[in-house]
């Protein structure tokens, strides 16, 4: 069992419409304004 809060790192993938598209994004921790940065987007 992990201790402490979950801290994701690195790129993440989101599947859209059952495989017809996807996004690859990275979460950037910034104290004032955290951001999700999309590095790749695909839609067929």
Report the pLDDT value the prediction gives residue 11, as an integer from 0 to 100.
87
Domain that holds residue 31: 12-43
Beta bridge partners of 15: 22
Any domain includes 7: no
Any domain includes 2: no
Report the pLDDT value the prediction gives residue 21, as an integer from 0 to 100.
92
Report the pLDDT value the prediction gives residue 37, as an integer from 0 to 100.
85
Any domain includes 1: no
Any domain includes 19: yes
> Is 22 in contact with 37 (CB distance < 8 Å)?
no
User: Which DSSP category does 17 fall into?
Assistant: G
> Is 44 in contact with 21 (CB distance < 8 Å)?
yes
How far is 14 from 27, CA to CA, in rounded Å? 13
Where does 1-44 show beta strands of DSSP type E? 12-16, 21-28, 35-43
One pLDDT digit (tens) per residue for the chain, 44 residues: 556 666 667 888 889 888 789 999 888 777 787 788 888 888 88
Give pTM, 2 decimals: 0.59
Give the count of domains, the chain.
Answer: 1
């Amino acid at each position: 069992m992990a201790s402490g809060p979950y801290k994701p790192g690195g790129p993440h993938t989101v599947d859209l419409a059952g495989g017809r598209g996807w996004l690859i994004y990275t979460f950037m921790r910034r104290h004032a304004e955290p951001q999700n940065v999309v590095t790749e987007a695909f839609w067929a």
